[in-house]
Structure 1
Amino acid sequence: MKINRLFEILYLLLEKKTITAKELAEHFEVSVRTIYRDIDILSSAGIPVYFQRGKSGGIKLMDNYVINKSLLSQNEQNEILYALQSLNATNYPNNNKTLSKLNAIFNKKSDNWIKIDFSRYNCDDNTLFEKIKEAILTKQTVKFNYFNTKGEHSERIADPLNLWFKERAWYLFAYCHKKSDIRQFKITRIKNLILTDKHFEKSVENFKINDKKDKIKNVKIIVEIDKSQAYRVYDEFSEENINKMENGNFEIVMEYPENEWVYGYLLSFGEHLKIKEPERIKKILFEKIEKMKKNYK
């Protein structure tokens, strides 16, 4: 307890610059005499703490004092602060206190270099991420309801290993008790997650985690997209995959896993996209359009 109190006294001095013994005693619920002894210990340890008398006096640290941090270079300190700022930008919960402490310890305040707005995606609720983070760090088995790509519902019990962000979405990689294997769960399809009282010993190093998307054979698709869709073309495709045609339209060469998602993505361009090859996908989209037309008769 004393070690923790000494460290927090030092942090408070770094943050507030000046504080009275009475204020510290009330904060830690100890006597003023105990605080004086703590200050003596800090002083004998080589920390330049001193008492200043007068109206605005109190316990102070010498100006420009910072905790010895020789294990971290200036660049490493900046990288830590920048990483915490990037978490703040994503509305990551309970991060400001950590960032404030490290700013004080490093005696610097780095520029806030990043801003991310998730408001249109309705991402205000971080409860699920907090639960998953806790489960991963404490190695607690979780239980949840899951909906697959076909809308089928199942109850899962799993040992969570890590979170991945890939292709604009978050995924949980976990050892699924039902499948007795590693499985990938899209976060938006996880419902009613709870932490159980069971713990596990597995770690991510015990498994070779591969994104299942990488195992699906990609199909090469060549399309022509109308010039009116230039804003989407340059937003959604790499420059090396874009060929500007003489008529002003775009020829796009893309490779995707062939599934319902890619059919829906191609159809999202409506009348502005034409499949050039393969012929098979052209027929699949034609059949889907015919079925769609029946909904509007």
Structure 2
Amino acid sequence: MKISRLFEIVYLLLEKRTITAKELAAHFEVSARTIYRDIDILSSAGIPVYFQRGKHGGIKLMDNYIMNKSLLSQKEQNEILYALQSLNATNYPNNNKTLSKLSAIFKQKADSWIKIDFSRYSCDNSTLFEKIKEAILTKQTVKFDYFNTKGEHSERTADPLTLWFKEKAWYLFAYCHDKKDIRQFKVSRIKDLILTEKYFEKSAENFKINDKKDKVKIVKVIVEIDKSQAYRVYDEFPEENISKMENGNFEVIMEYPENEWVYGYLLSFGEYLKVKEPERIKKILFEKIEKMKENYK
């Protein structure tokens, strides 16, 4: 505790330059005598800290003092501050204090370079994300209602492991108590999530997310997309997967896990997309279109 207190005294002096023993004693909830001893220790360790009497007196740090940071280059210092700024953007707990301390040590302030908004235009999911983040960081089991791709409802109890952003959507990887395995939950389908009073341990056994990902069936689909949809083509696909055809349209190669989302995504292009291969996907979409037509007879 003493070492931590000594470092924090230096941080406070770097920020304020002058502070009284009474203020420090109140801050650390110790006696003024303890603070005097701490200052003596800092002084004997070579930190240029001293007492100044008078109206504006107190414990001071020499104006030209900057904590030795020679182990970190200027670029490395900036990277640390920028990383902390990105954590601030996600409302990471207790991060402001750390950022303030390191900014004081490095004698610079990191520019705010990132903004993350978890909400959609139609609704605000920030509370849900806050709960999930807290559960992951505190290793706290959660309960929630979940709706799968078929619209089927189930109640889940799970140990949240990590949040992933993939293909324009957020996913929660968690150990599902019901399935006794890692499951991937689309965050937009999670409802009424609550934190329980139970806690779990993150171990190598329940964190094999990459193994789970490798088991997902990937389908390769080659499509032709009308040239009028250029804005979507360049927004939604990697450039190396896009080829310009002689008629001006685009040939696009897609690789996605095969599920209802993929079929719906292909259909979202309406008459502007034609599946070239595989034949099996063409047949599935044809059957879905026929069923859609039945809805408008």
Fold similarity call, TM over 0.5? yes
Q: Structure 1's 71 and 153: CA in aligned 2 closer, same or farther, altered over 3 A? A: farther
- 1:30 offset after TM fit, Å? 4.9
Is this contact kept in 1: 2:224–2:276, CA < 8 A?
yes
- Further displaced range: 228-237 or 160-169: 160-169
Q: In the aligned structure 1, how far is the partner of 2:248 from the partner of 2:81?
A: 47
Q: In the aligned structure 2, how far is the partner of 1:273 from the partner of 1:150?
A: 24
Counterpart of 1:287 in structure 2 is 287
1:254 has 2:251 as partner: no
Counterpart of 2:200 in structure 1 is 200
Q: In the aligned structure 1, how far is the partner of 2:125 from the partner of 2:285?
A: 37
Q: Structure 1's 94 and 218: CA in aligned 2 closer, same or farther, altered over 3 A? A: same
* 2:249 alignment partner AA: N
1:6-61: CA deviation from partner (whole Å, max 9, x where unpaired): 33322211112222334334444555454333322322232211234455443221
Q: Structure 1's 13 and 168: CA in aligned 2 closer, same or farther, altered over 3 A? A: same
Counterpart of 1:244 in structure 2 is 244
Q: Structure 1's 14 and 167: CA in aligned 2 closer, same or farther, altered over 3 A? A: same
Unaligned runs of 5+ in 2: none
Counterpart of 1:8 in structure 2 is 8
**SS state at 2:51 partner:** strand
Counterpart of 1:179 in structure 2 is 179
1:143 has 2:169 as partner: no
1:64-117: CA deviation from partner (whole Å, max 9, x where unpaired): 434445665544433222212122334556533332222123333233333445
1:260-290: CA deviation from partner (whole Å, max 9, x where unpaired): 1111111111222222333333333233233
Q: Structure 1's 185 and 136: CA in aligned 2 closer, same or farther, altered over 3 A? A: same
**SS state at 1:179 partner:** coil
**SS state at 1:47 partner:** coil
Aligned residues: 297
Is this contact kept in 1: 2:161–2:207, CA < 8 A?
no
Q: Structure 1's 122 and 25: CA in aligned 2 closer, same or farther, altered over 3 A? A: farther
Q: In the aligned structure 2, how far is the partner of 1:53 from the partner of 1:123?
A: 58
Superposition TM-score, scaled by structure 2 size:
0.82
Is this contact kept in 1: 2:175–2:206, CA < 8 A?
no
Counterpart of 1:156 in structure 2 is 156
Q: Structure 1's 121 and 214: CA in aligned 2 closer, same or farther, altered over 3 A? A: farther
Unaligned runs of 5+ in 1: none
Is this contact kept in 1: 2:119–2:125, CA < 8 A?
no
Is this contact kept in 2: 1:82–1:113, CA < 8 A?
yes
- 1:232 offset after TM fit, Å? 0.8
* 2:23 alignment partner AA: E
1:96 has 2:71 as partner: no
Is this contact kept in 1: 2:85–2:110, CA < 8 A?
no
- 1:231 offset after TM fit, Å? 0.9
Superposition TM-score, scaled by structure 1 size:
0.82
Q: In the aligned structure 1, how far is the partner of 2:88 from the partner of 2:220?
A: 39
Q: Structure 1's 186 and 72: CA in aligned 2 closer, same or farther, altered over 3 A? A: farther
**SS state at 2:209 partner:** coil
